[in-house]
Amino acid sequence: MNAKKSTENVRMQISAFGKDVMYGLSQHPKSISSKYFYDAEGDRIFQQIMEMPEYYLTNCEYEILSQQRKEICDAIRAFDEPLNIIEFGAGDGYKTRLLLKYMLENKAEFTYYPVDISNHILNELETNLSDEMPALDIKPLNLEYFKALTTLSKIKDRRNVILFLGANIGNFKYNEAENFIGRMSSTINPGDMLLMGVDLRKNPDTIRLAYDDPHGLTESFNLNLLKRMNRELGADFNTSNFSHYAFYEPVDGEMLSYLVSKKNQVVHFDALEWSVEFNTNEFIHTEVSRKYSIYELEIIAESQHLEVVKHFFDTKQYFVDTLFKVK
């Protein structure tokens, strides 16, 4: 089937997911954005990943937010004036609720805006947090990060504190992260703050095991991307014909994940009226998770007109929540 002709015929009728899949799988090398990991099944698998002992990121950041929440709230001046607490990539709120509950208990006045690309998990988050904290003023935003930035630019009545936790900044390449942070700092107002969770450079084996675990959960998470295309786009991927491959590149600090074709094969997409060929050992790039040094964070801050207020570390110094202020 002629891919170009099919693309023109159905482009106006397909979802953003379908368009991105067609574009990404037409490139050399092939790729699909990691944001598409998170359908309902992807959300469920990722919750299991966060409970693995190998996935140190969750426990390290939880330790920071549980043991240093007073210091963090003091640093953001949570009790001085009304705030907008805006969280990008809110997820299930497992860690964030530590700060929210502490702020409510100590009479801080704020509105919580969780932002996530998964409407499913936002709905669950709103229900759970409202049940747990009835006094919480919560207004979910089902938007991508850059679209949320446009929304943020209209929130001028209060000082904004943006939470970007869980090492989500690692899903960008270095230059992309720098641009994202720069766009954020130029969109919000002087004096606004950003609390950003960052996975630090460390022993390569420790990092690799978090993304290529012996339990097979990260493999299932990656392969679910193929299953999602089957479910939503009418694709006929046979997941047994693909393998999960992940490795850490210590020079650039990038943890990279791929799906590798085990054979020559053609995959058809009924909903797209389209098909794509894979050669043996051809790969789909599905994720980058970049690790940073403190030096790199401070260089980015300086270049993007941010002041580093404080670094909050876990006891192993595997992870940091860094508080920035817009100059």
Mean predicted confidence (pLDDT) in 49-57: 94
Mean predicted confidence (pLDDT) in 86-102: 91
Q: Where in the chain are the domains?
A: 3-42+216-290, 68-202+292-326
The per-residue pLDDT for range 235-263, each reduced to its tens digit, is 999 999 999 999 999 999 999 999 999 99
**Residue 286 above 50 pLDDT?**
yes
Q: Residue 284 is encoded by which pair of tokens?
A: 């789909």
The per-residue pLDDT for range 177-190, each reduced to its tens digit, is 999 999 889 888 88
Determine the pLDDT at residue 300: 97
SS3 per residue for the chain:
CCHHHHHHHHHHHCCHHHHHHHHHCCCCCEECCHHHHCCHHHHHHHHHHHCCCCCHHHHHHHHHHHHCHHHHHHHCCCCCCCEEEEEECCCCCCCHHHHHHHHHHCCCCEEEEEECCCHHHHHHHHHHHHHHCCCCCECCECCCHHHHHHHHCCCCCCEEEEEECCCHHHHCCHHHHHHHHHHHHHHCCCCCEEEEEEEECCCHHHHHHHHCCCCCHHHHHHHHHHHHHHHHHCECCCHHHEEEEEEEECCCCEEEEEEEECCCEEEEEHHHCEEEEECCCCEEEEEEEECECHHHHHHHHHHCCEEEEEEEECCCCCEEEEEEEEC
Determine the pLDDT at residue 47: 87
The per-residue pLDDT for range 64-89, each reduced to its tens digit, is 999 999 999 999 999 999 999 999 98
Note the CATH architecture for domain 68-202+292-326.
3-Layer(aba) Sandwich (3.40)
The per-residue pLDDT for range 117-142, each reduced to its tens digit, is 778 889 999 999 999 999 999 999 98
Reduce the DSSP state of residue 52 to 3 states and report it.
coil
Determine the pLDDT at residue 150: 74
Distance CA(308)–CA(298), nearest Å, equals: 7
- Work out whether strand 274-278 and strand 265-269 pair parallel, antiparallel, or are unpaired: antiparallel
pTM of the complete model: 0.88
